[in-house]
């Protein structure tokens, strides 16, 4: 393969919702460049990028896949990303190392919630963007509506580069506003015939061309002066203005195409070649110190690892972008995060499942290496003399959680090791052992995301596992004060056990006054690890309980607070007053008073009108306005309390407080009732009391579990 310098390398990432044709476009671009003799299809499972077994089985992208084309004097690295939000981590990491984002949308639906979710990261990374309205050959294609949806979002920053002369099943012609030419394609697409713009379209084309010229000129003072002088800009001047606008995030050029029929993809590739910024044009990578680094081939080597893949035969494969210098086989690099050394043994240029071994990778290029010991996604590898450390990626928080167990209990440990490998591939997948719940929990972006984990466990690691509903981390507290007395007495020959405790417990709240009617001898405030407080007062007078036994009483209370009297949940926000008791000169000891303290607390708790609290999450939903009614109805059935509603760009924004237990299947439900056109996020807010009927049911289940 021809060698390319950083200024001749362009890295693009294909982003967009599911079924917008990203994989088909990637395949067409590689075919159009002459690197494929025959285009594969998603339906047949023969595309370059969707080569994993799970992708062929499911018919959609699960991984972000790197491939490349060579177009004229440029190497264009393409990263094809999944369209489903379940795999957003793959998309976010790919956007980080790309120089331009190509955002696809269907001609049927235009700019949707899925595009808006991605735009948050486009904006965060400030990447230049090309809009592509794909599937113009679809029978339901509606260019005007699709274009209007883009304009609603971006206003005057959006600019048409082309528009379809016809659309739907008869689509075969595009009017190009940069070259002011009509491209007419044959039945098999490919290289089009160049024709004059039809007479009936000339006025429209001229008007849109003038808009393009004005927007290109706005981005540069010299171009603006030329425009005023000449009343127009030539093609090279237009390209310059468009490029400047793209890099400032002030201009988003829009193309139309049918990637499936190979109509229009070549024209967009020409634009990428001539206009889109190269690896050295943009400041791409933020550092840990907050600076932004431009790709510089003249500095010491540094690279950013943006993706990790665990393959059965190769082992761990690290994908990276060379940010500075040149990377060579045999080079020894330092991992900035682990401070360990890594030797570069093999370097590969990647085209899906094809790996071409090379001796070096130049600045701005994307490649992969294997057999690294301690390197993971988001790590920086650098020359030892370099001080460069790139900032890690911030991945979105999980939306769905489930409990998991191996069907064969003997494989539990093996399964945990496999989950570690899956997490190293996908940082948006998290797992933990919840000590409080005594369950192994997994967290992901959606049901499909977690289902792929089960698939990987079975097909990659040969482990059968299953999900089940996770427990809820309830909390217990009280609503009134109560007193209790408990005597622990045990005689078994020789020294026995004796301890008697008089106790009052009260609900605790910040700023409450000190207890009255008691002689306060000491107080201890404990910030509980699970939230809330225990305030413990020693009010013993006359030496009825020796001071050395007070810590044992408190220990007994704490143990019972870790396993609440009603549902075995943690107890919070309680004030305990130990005010009387008895001891024995021989039989009293720490264990006696610990047991007495625990039982006294338990009895008082049951008499203090106990209350079970459940975790409440703040839920944010974005849904097309026409579907808001169905979403609101579903929320009402989930005990959600709507806190506010807003409207933006024909979308409804809903904020609600909802019990965590009601979010268990929410991802699936929302996707079903909105046909996948809504999105949501949630975060912990607070604890609130459960309804009485639910508290009674929880208490009953807990009692039955103890008795069984």
Between the two ends of the chain, the Cα-to-Cα distance in Å is: 70
Sorting pLDDT into bands at 50, 70 and 90, what band is 285? low
pLDDT value at residue 59: 87
Q: Which residues pair with 629 in a beta bridge?
A: none
Establish if 242 belongs to a structural domain.
no
Sorting pLDDT into bands at 50, 70 and 90, what band is 33? confident
Output 434-440 pairs: Cβ under 8 A, ≥24 positions apart: 434/470, 434/471, 434/473, 436/473, 436/530, 436/569, 436/570, 437/403, 437/470, 437/471, 437/473, 439/403, 439/470, 439/471, 440/403, 440/404, 440/405, 440/412, 440/416
pLDDT value at residue 491: 80
Residues 527 and 535: their CA atoms lie apart, in Å, by: 9
Condensed to tens digits (0 to 9), the pLDDT of residues 658-688 reads 999 999 999 999 999 998 888 999 999 999 9
Establish if 205 belongs to a structural domain.
no
449 and 572 co-located in one domain: no
Give the rounded percent of residues in the chain with a pLDDT score beyond 70: 98
Q: Is 280 helix (H, G, I), strand (E, B) or coil?
A: coil
Mean pLDDT value of segment 537-544: 94
32 and 148 co-located in one domain: yes
Residues 458 and 301: their CA atoms lie apart, in Å, by: 40
User: CATH number for the domain including 306?
Assistant: 2.40.30.10
46 and 159 co-located in one domain: yes
Mean pLDDT value of segment 212-241: 86
Residues 213 and 520: their CA atoms lie apart, in Å, by: 82
Beta-carbon contacts of residue 310 (< 8 Å; ≥ 6 apart): 316, 317, 421, 422, 424, 425, 460
Condensed to tens digits (0 to 9), the pLDDT of residues 467-510 reads 999 999 999 999 999 999 999 998 876 778 999 999 999 999 99
Mean pLDDT value of segment 317-341: 94
User: Which of 161-175, 310-324, 385-399 is most confident?
Assistant: 161-175
Element (H, E) at 234: none
How many distinct structural domains can be found in the chain? 5
Condensed to tens digits (0 to 9), the pLDDT of residues 433-452 reads 999 999 999 999 999 999 99
pLDDT value at residue 581: 96
Where do we find the tokens 């309830």? 474
Beta-carbon contacts of residue 393 (< 8 Å; ≥ 6 apart): 92, 93, 96, 306, 377, 378, 427
Sorting pLDDT into bands at 50, 70 and 90, what band is 292? low
Establish if 627 belongs to a structural domain.
yes
555 and 661 co-located in one domain: no
Sorting pLDDT into bands at 50, 70 and 90, what band is 71? confident
pLDDT value at residue 26: 94
Condensed to tens digits (0 to 9), the pLDDT of residues 159-199 reads 999 999 999 999 999 999 999 999 999 998 989 999 999 99
User: CATH number for the domain including 539?
Assistant: 3.30.230.10
Which among 259, 267, 250, 246 is positioned nearest to 178, based on CA atoms? Answer: 267
pLDDT value at residue 290: 64
Which backbone phi and psi does 437 adopt, to 5 degrees? -90, -15
138 and 13 co-located in one domain: yes
Mean pLDDT value of segment 326-350: 94
Sorting pLDDT into bands at 50, 70 and 90, what band is 246? very high
User: Which of 219-233, 387-401, 538-552 is most confident?
Assistant: 538-552
Element (H, E) at 628: helix 628-636
Residues 162 and 171: their CA atoms lie apart, in Å, by: 14
**Where does 497-545 show beta strands of DSSP type E?**
497-507, 522-527, 533-538
Sorting pLDDT into bands at 50, 70 and 90, what band is 312? confident
Q: Give the C-alpha distances (Å, rounded to integers) separating 228 from 120, 223, 371, 659.
A: 36, 9, 59, 61
CA angle 77–78–79, rounded 5-degree value = 125
Residues 621 and 644: their CA atoms lie apart, in Å, by: 11
Residues 236 and 218: their CA atoms lie apart, in Å, by: 15
Virtual CA dihedral for 573, 579, 583, 585, nearest 10 degrees? 120
581 and 639 co-located in one domain: no
**CB of 428 closer than 8 Å to CB of 395:** yes
- 62-71, 412-421, 492-501, 638-647 — which is least confidently predicted? 492-501
Establish if 391 belongs to a structural domain.
no
514 and 551 co-located in one domain: yes
Condensed to tens digits (0 to 9), the pLDDT of residues 98-132 reads 999 999 999 999 998 889 889 989 998 999 999 99
Residue 369 has pLDDT above 80, yes or no: yes
Residues 402 and 400: their CA atoms lie apart, in Å, by: 7
Residue 340 is part of which domain span?
Answer: 295-382
Integer-rounded Cα Rg, in Å, for the chain is: 32
Q: Which residues pair with 578 in a beta bridge?
A: 503, 538
377 and 408 co-located in one domain: no
CA angle 627–630–633, rounded 5-degree value = 145
Count other C-beta atoms under 10 Å from residue 38's C-beta.
7
- 93-102, 342-351, 384-393 — which is least confidently predicted? 384-393
The domain boundary, picked from 282, 303, 333, lies at 282
Establish if 44 belongs to a structural domain.
yes
Establish if 300 belongs to a structural domain.
yes
Mean pLDDT value of segment 64-93: 92
Q: Give the C-alpha distances (Å, rounded to integers) separating 360 from 309, 379, 648.
A: 21, 20, 49
**CB of 66 closer than 8 Å to CB of 78:** yes
Q: Give the C-alpha distances (Å, rounded to integers) separating 364 from 116, 279, 284, 298, 325.
A: 28, 5, 10, 12, 9
pLDDT value at residue 708: 65
User: CATH number for the domain including 433?
Assistant: 3.30.70.870
Sorting pLDDT into bands at 50, 70 and 90, what band is 310? confident
Residue 143 corresponds to which tokens in the numbers above?
Answer: 């260019």
Mean pLDDT value of segment 409-430: 95
- Strands of the sheet with 482-490, listed across from one edge: 482-490, 497-507, 574-582, 533-538, 522-527
pLDDT value at residue 703: 84
Q: Which residues pair with 646 in a beta bridge?
A: 653
The domain boundary, picked from 352, 382, 412, lies at 382
Mean pLDDT of the chain: 92
pLDDT value at residue 284: 62
Sorting pLDDT into bands at 50, 70 and 90, what band is 405? very high
The interaxial angle of helices 221-230 and 199-217, nearest 10 deg, is 140
Establish if 215 belongs to a structural domain.
no
Residues 175 and 286: their CA atoms lie apart, in Å, by: 39
Condensed to tens digits (0 to 9), the pLDDT of residues 600-631 reads 999 999 999 999 999 999 999 999 999 999 99
Residue 549 corresponds to which tokens in the numbers above?
Answer: 């036994």
419 and 507 co-located in one domain: no
The interaxial angle of helices 550-561 and 590-606, nearest 10 deg, is 50
pLDDT value at residue 291: 65
pLDDT value at residue 34: 81
130 and 265 co-located in one domain: yes
Residues 201 and 184: their CA atoms lie apart, in Å, by: 14
pLDDT value at residue 65: 95
Element (H, E) at 103: strand 100-106
Mean pLDDT value of segment 303-322: 90
Residue 225 has pLDDT above 90, yes or no: no
**Element counts in the chain: helices (H) and strands (E):** 16, 38
Residues 500 and 485: their CA atoms lie apart, in Å, by: 7
Residues 127 and 102: their CA atoms lie apart, in Å, by: 10
pLDDT value at residue 311: 81
**CB of 23 closer than 8 Å to CB of 47:** yes
User: CATH number for the domain including 82?
Assistant: 3.40.50.300
258 and 171 co-located in one domain: yes
The domain boundary, picked from 419, 444, 468, lies at 468
Residue 4 has pLDDT above 90, yes or no: no
Establish if 221 belongs to a structural domain.
no
Residue 314 has pLDDT above 80, yes or no: no
Q: Give the C-alpha distances (Å, rounded to integers) separating 213 from 16, 150, 156, 200.
A: 28, 19, 13, 21
Mean pLDDT value of segment 524-553: 95
278 and 301 co-located in one domain: no
Q: Which residues pair with 132 in a beta bridge?
A: 104, 255
């Amino acid at each position: 393969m021809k060698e390319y310098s950083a200024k001749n390398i362009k890295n693009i990432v294909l982003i967009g919702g599911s079924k917008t044709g990203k994989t088909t476009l990637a395949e067409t671009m590689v075919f159009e460049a002459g690197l494929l003799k025959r285009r594969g299809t998603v339906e047949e499972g023969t595309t370059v990028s969707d080569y994993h077994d799970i992708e062929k089985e499911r018919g959609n992208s699960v991984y972000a896949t790197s491939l490349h084309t060579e177009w004229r004097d440029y190497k264009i690295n393409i990263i094809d990303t999944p369209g489903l939000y379940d795999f957003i981590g793959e998309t976010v990491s790919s956007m980080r190392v790309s120089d331009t984002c190509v955002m696809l949308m269907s001609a049927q639906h235009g700019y949707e919630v899925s595009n808006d979710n991605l735009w948050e990261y486009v904006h965060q990374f400030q990447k230049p963007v090309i809009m592509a309205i794909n599937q113009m050959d679809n029978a339901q294609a509606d260019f005007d509506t699709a274009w209007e949806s883009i304009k609603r979002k971006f206003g005057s920053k959006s600019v048409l580069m082309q528009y379809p002369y016809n659309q739907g099943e008869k689509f075969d012609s595009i009017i190009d506003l940069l070259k002011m030419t009509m491209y007419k394609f044959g039945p098999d697409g490919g290289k089009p015939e160049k024709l004059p713009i039809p007479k009936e379209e000339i006025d429209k084309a001229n008007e849109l061309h003038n808009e393009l010229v004005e927007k290109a000129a706005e981005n540069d003072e010299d171009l603006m002066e030329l425009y005023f002088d000449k009343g127009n800009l030539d093609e090279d001047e237009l390209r310059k203005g468009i490029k400047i606008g793209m890099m400032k995030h002030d201009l988003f050029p829009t193309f139309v195409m049918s990637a499936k029929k190979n109509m229009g993809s070549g024209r967009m590739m020409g634009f990428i070649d001539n206009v889109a910024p190269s690896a050295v044009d943009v400041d791409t990578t933020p550092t840990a110190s907050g600076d932004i680094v431009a790709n510089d081939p003249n500095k010491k080597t540094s690279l950013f690892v943006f993706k990790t893949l665990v393959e059965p035969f190769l082992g761990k494969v690290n994908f990276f972008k060379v940010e500075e210098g040149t990377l060579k086989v045999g080079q020894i690099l330092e991992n900035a995060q682990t401070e360990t050394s890594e030797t570069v043994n093999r370097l590969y240029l990647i085209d899906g499942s094809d790996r071409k071994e090379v001796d070096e990778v130049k600045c701005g290029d994307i490649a992969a290496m294997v057999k690294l010991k301690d390197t993971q996604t988001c790590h920086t590898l650098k020359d030892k003399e370099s001080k460069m450390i790139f900032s890690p990626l911030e991945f979105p928080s999980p939306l769905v959680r489930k409990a998991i167990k191996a069907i064969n209990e003997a494989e539990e440990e093996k399964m945990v090791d496999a989950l570690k490998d899956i997490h190293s591939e996908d940082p948006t997948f998290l797992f933990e052992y919840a000590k409080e719940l005594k369950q192994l929990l997994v967290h992901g972006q959606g049901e499909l995301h977690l289902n792929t984990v089960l698939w990987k466990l079975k097909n990659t690691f040969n482990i059968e596992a299953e999900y089940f509903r996770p427990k809820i981390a309830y909390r217990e507290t009280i609503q009134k004060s109560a007193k209790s007395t408990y005597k622990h007495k045990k005689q078994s020959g020789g020294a026995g056990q004796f301890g008697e405790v008089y106790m009052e417990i009260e609900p605790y709240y910040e700023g409450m006054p000190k207890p009255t009617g008691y002689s306060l001898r000491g107080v201890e405030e404990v910030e509980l690890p699970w939230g809330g407080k225990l305030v413990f007062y020693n009010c013993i007078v006359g030496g009825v309980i020796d001071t050395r036994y007070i810590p044992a009483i408190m220990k007994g209370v704490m143990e019972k607070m870790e396993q609440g009297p009603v549902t075995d949940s943690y107890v919070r926000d309680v004030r305990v007053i130990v005010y009387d008791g008895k001891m024995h000169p021989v039989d009293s000891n720490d264990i006696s008073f610990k047991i007495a303290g625990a039982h006294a607390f338990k009895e008082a708790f049951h008499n203090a009108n106990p209350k079970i609290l459940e975790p409440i999450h703040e839920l944010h939903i974005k849904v097309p306005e026409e579907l808001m009614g169905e979403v609101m109805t579903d929320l009402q059935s989930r005990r959600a309390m709507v806190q506010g509603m807003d409207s933006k760009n024909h979308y409804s924004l809903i904020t609600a407080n909802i019990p965590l237990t009601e979010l268990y299947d929410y991802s699936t439900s929302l996707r079903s009732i909105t046909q996948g056109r809504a999105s949501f996020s949630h975060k912990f807010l607070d604890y609130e009391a459960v309804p009485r009927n639910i508290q009674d049911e929880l208490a009953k289940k807990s009692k039955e579990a103890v008795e069984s």
